[in-house]
Amino acid sequence: MDIRPDTLNLDESKVEEAITPRTRAIVPVHYAGVSCEMDVIMEIAKRYNLLVIEDAAQGILSSYKGRPLGSIGHLGTFSFHETKNIISGEGGALLINDPELVERAEIIREKGTDRSKFFRGQVDKYTWVDIGSSYLPGEIIAAFLMAQIEEAENIISRRLRIWDRYHRAFAALESQGRVRLPIIPDSCGHNAHMYYLLLQSLKDREIFIELMKEREIQCVFHYVPLHTSPQGQAVSRVDGRLEVTEDLANRLVRLPLWLGLEEHQDRVIDAVAGSLRLGS
């Protein structure tokens, strides 16, 4: 289904028409750490007896109407990949909000065995009982992640200051019609996962990225729409184009946003303004 033009999240008004007798779950992706319209999605899921699995890979410490992302659906997922706000190089976390799903999740995590029950003294030995794989982090990765989690609020606070500074700096460019800035609904508390600009066309984006590269500043586009990929074309039920998705994917460019950027941010802001002037 297509996305909303404001948040770039799935368009909740199109969810119901996409449901078929084979549908088992709805997977809302909280793009850029900004929440999907979860009240509507949860109501639809309840009506059709579907699970909701939140893809909150980019959404740690973001919220929807005061509720943390990942805690609203039946399941929620976080990513700790090196590109995320809280990192351990690779890995992630599964949040289980439905108690009935806990036991099987433990089994799947532990190579399909009931080893967790054994450690709790609930069985005298553990054995293979279901499908599974090894999803346990090593001690070094876990220690690295724990240090990040302990600093999570400070990390998000610093990222938000960088994000807010970009937003103020580029307001004039938006009013001039040169770019469109991210839109954050009042119901959403975001975590400054990324800052992006929407340019006027694919050509404008290509020129902008090249001009920024000449200034030794890396700016990159983001996801290529899945339905346009070879596998997406093979398995997707999309009939024709997803016009909003394809349009925005062609125009989106991400700006640098990382801890320590503060001392370099003026140079990025000046380069953006200069590149847009030259590219227009």
Domains within the chain, CATH numbers bracketed:
12-91+137-278 (3.90.1150.10), 98-136 (no CATH)
Sign, CA dihedral 220-226-229-230, equals positive
What residues does 10 pair with on adjacent strands?
3
Is 239 a residue whose pLDDT tops 80? no
Banded model confidence at residue 280, pLDDT cuts 50, 70, 90: low
Amino acid at 160: L
Looking at residues 128-144, what average pLDDT do you find? 93
pTM (predicted TM-score):
0.94
d(CA 167, CA 29): 23
Q: In degrees to the nearest 10, what's the CA dihedral of 114, 115, 117, 120?
A: 180
* Mean pLDDT, rounded, of the chain: 96
Report pLDDT digits (tens) over 243-260.
Answer: 999 999 999 999 999 999
Is 165 a residue whose pLDDT tops 90? yes
Query: What are the helix (H) ranges across 49-176?
Result: 102-109, 115-119, 139-150, 152-169, 171-175
Q: Of 42, 35, 31, 33, which is closest to residue 8 (Cα–Cα)?
A: 31
Report pLDDT digits (tens) over 82-128.
Answer: 999 999 988 999 999 999 999 999 999 999 999 999 999 999 999 99
The values of phi and psi at residue 208, to 5°, are -60, -45
Q: Which of 204-208, 222-226, 235-239 has the lowest mean pLDDT?
A: 235-239
pLDDT at 279: 63
Please return the burial class of 219, using the count of CB atoms within 10 Å of its CB with bins 0-12, 13-18 and 19+.
Answer: buried
